[in-house]
């Protein structure tokens, strides 16, 4: 698998441990209260025990900056994914924590890629997801041909409804800026509970 793998939306102890054994590059934990995959404070304590080789990622949506900084420190988060309307100054301030900054954008027919230029100097990666009013987790794939309008050099995560049926198409993508594949809802038995067998199959297919 040339691209990195991020498995997002984990919240249950045994499932977190089982997914960690798959050794994805990133594991995402959602700190957005309105999400059905929002992690509890009790379960969030387990993040600190994920092997250090995995970049634990906190996902936030329009959260107060001081709360995000506090969570980065408390749970030893290695990356932060911002899925709301966080501005450039917010991203710049958060970068002072030393965490990797991933700024997510929902992509649709009317998305203005020009707005990304201002963010390019202050974030480590972009994440392109399906445009949805609920800030991700829609289970829907957006039209990847829209990425032809993306002209910057900044590398990105590709997200939005990716499942086993997208494997062959993913393999055909030829964009050196594609840094990581982000999977979530298509590999679930229930919101926040990942199907480890399906994840194993995905990893195997992507590597072969």
Which are the catalytic amino acids?
8, 129
Backbone dihedral angles phi then psi of residue 9, each to the nearest 5 degrees: 85, 35
Q: Which of 108, 116, 190 is nearest to 151 (CA)?
A: 116
Whether the Cβ atoms of residue 96 and residue 68 lie closer than 8 Å to each other: no
Distance CA 205, CA 112 (A): 34
From residue 169, how far is each of 6, 119, 136, 141, 143 by CA, in Å? 18, 29, 21, 12, 12
């Amino acid at each position: 698998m040339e691209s990195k793998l991020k498995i997002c939306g984990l919240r249950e102890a045994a499932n977190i441990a089982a997914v960690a054994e798959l050794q994805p590059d990133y594991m995402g934990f959602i700190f957005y209260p309105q999400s059905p995959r929002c992690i509890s404070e009790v379960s969030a304590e387990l993040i600190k025990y994920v092997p250090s080789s995995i970049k634990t990622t906190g996902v936030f949506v329009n959260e107060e900056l001081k709360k995000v900084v506090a969570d980065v420190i408390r749970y030893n988060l290695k990356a932060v994914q911002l899925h709301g309307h966080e501005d450039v100054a917010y991203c710049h301030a958060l970068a002072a924590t030393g965490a990797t900054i991933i700024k997510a954008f929902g992509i649709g027919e009317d998305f203005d890629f020009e707005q990304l230029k201002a963010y390019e100097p202050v974030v480590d990666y972009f994440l392109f997801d399906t445009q949805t009013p609920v800030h991700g987790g829609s289970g829907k794939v957006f039209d990847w041909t829209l990425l032809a309008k993306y002209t910057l050099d900044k590398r990105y995560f590709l997200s939005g409804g990716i499942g086993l049926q997208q494997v062959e198409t993913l393999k055909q993508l030829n964009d050196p800026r594609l840094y990581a594949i982000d999977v979530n809802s298509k590999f679930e038995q229930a919101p926040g509970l990942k199907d480890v067998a399906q994840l194993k199959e995905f990893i195997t297919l992507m590597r072969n």
